[in-house]
Amino acid sequence: MSLLSVIIPSYNEEDNIENTAGVISGVLKAAGIEYELIFISDGSKDSTYDKIAALASVDGAVKGVEFSRNFGKEAAIFAGLSLAKGDCVSVIDCDLQHPPKTLVEMYRLWEEGYEVVEGIKSKRGKEGLFHKMCVGIFYGIMSRLMKMDMNSTSDFKLLDRKAVDALLSLNEKNTFFRALTFWAGFKTTTVEFEVQERAAGKSKWSFSSLVRYAITNTTSFTTAPLQAGTVMGIILIIFSVVLGIQTLVKYFCGTAVEGFTTVILLLLIIGGSIMMSLGIIGHYLSRIYEEVKGRPKYIIRNRTDNF
């Protein structure tokens, strides 16, 4: 029978570990699917890893590792991919906002020959108006930059072993799992799901962390922001030509107005555009610097005995 590996990134999720393992195990056992649950404690400051280790000592299907510090969800996902032994691999949130019953539907589609099964959000659940607006703007921009529809995507998906091996063969340190599964190709289908309420605890994503996540993932996957400087330069050239023609016409007509308003305005626009372009270039240089250093995506501090 084919083995399904379920990767569960966990950061300060001590209240969810036992319930999440129990719910997912129950769903997969009822469906007759052989499985392993791989919990990745991403530098948790609570007893998340202790709960994982305790479960692993009594249930051989539960495995886990602990990072030496918080490396981020992307690192946790790729650590799980590298540790997974399954013929197919799924990623699911520890808070059970991704419904475990959808794993069965994904698995059946994989058995039909699909190599990537994408979880698509039909409903996002209860979210504040500001959060919905920010998410909409972020994924709208990401979709345009990456030329992919990112509006309803999530990390909730199932990959065939071939797709997993393809992702693990990539040498880059800054990764964006959602976009890379699109980029990798393979035979793909989708499954819709409704985002559930958290089983316990609160979301660990703050507004500032979401902004950093957006910037890092955008620049790690696409070079489109680098073209912003070129676009701004073209716009400024057109604006300058129009303004120059207007100034010459007024000069020869004897209606030119003396003053520094236009000069100051141009200096502010040009200076701001230059600084923005330099900031974008600087961010990409920092990404290159991180890649050149060759540091690992993550460091594993502990792992359960059944690994």
pLDDT at 185: 80
- Give residue 24's pLDDT: 92
Is 215 in a helix, a strand, or coil?
helix
Q: Is the pLDDT of residue 293 over 90?
A: no
Q: Give the end-to-end CA distance of the chain in Å, rounded to a whole number.
A: 20
Residue, of 1 and 29, whose pLDDT is higher: 29
What pLDDT is attached to residue 23?
92
Per-residue confidence (pLDDT) for residue 122, from 0 to 100? 72
CA 260 distance to own-chain centroid: 47
CB distance 81 to 168 below 8 Å:
yes
In terms of Cα–Cα distance, which of 139, 133, 134, 138 is closest to 120?
139
What DSSP state is assigned to residue 297?
S
Contact 75, 45 (CB under 8 A): no
From the list 211, 212, 220, the residue with the least C-alpha distance to 287 is 220
119-167 per-position pLDDT tens digit = 887 765 555 566 566 666 666 666 666 566 666 577 889 999 999 999 9
Give percent of the chain above pLDDT 70.
Answer: 69
For 206, other C-beta atoms within 10 Å of its C-beta total 9
Whole-angstrom distance, CA of residue 8 vs CA of residue 68: 17
What global pTM score does this model have? 0.70
Task: Reduce the DSSP state of residue 116 to 3 states and report it.
Answer: strand
Tokens of 41: 């404690």
On the question of pLDDT at 65 being above 90, the answer is: yes
| pLDDT per position as a tens digit, 240-289 | 677 767 766 766 676 655 555 566 666 767 777 777 777 777 777 777 77
Tens digit of each residue's pLDDT (9 = 90 or more) over 179-227: 788 878 888 888 888 777 665 556 555 556 666 666 666 666 666 666 6
* Cα separation, 98 vs 80, whole angstroms: 17
List, for residues 175-192, the tens digit of each pLDDT value: 788 878 887 888 888 888
Q: List pLDDT tens digits, range 9-61.
A: 998 888 889 899 999 999 999 989 999 999 999 888 888 999 999 998 898 89
Instruction: Give the number of other CB atoms < 10 A from CB of residue 11.
Output: 20
Q: Give residue 242's pLDDT.
A: 75
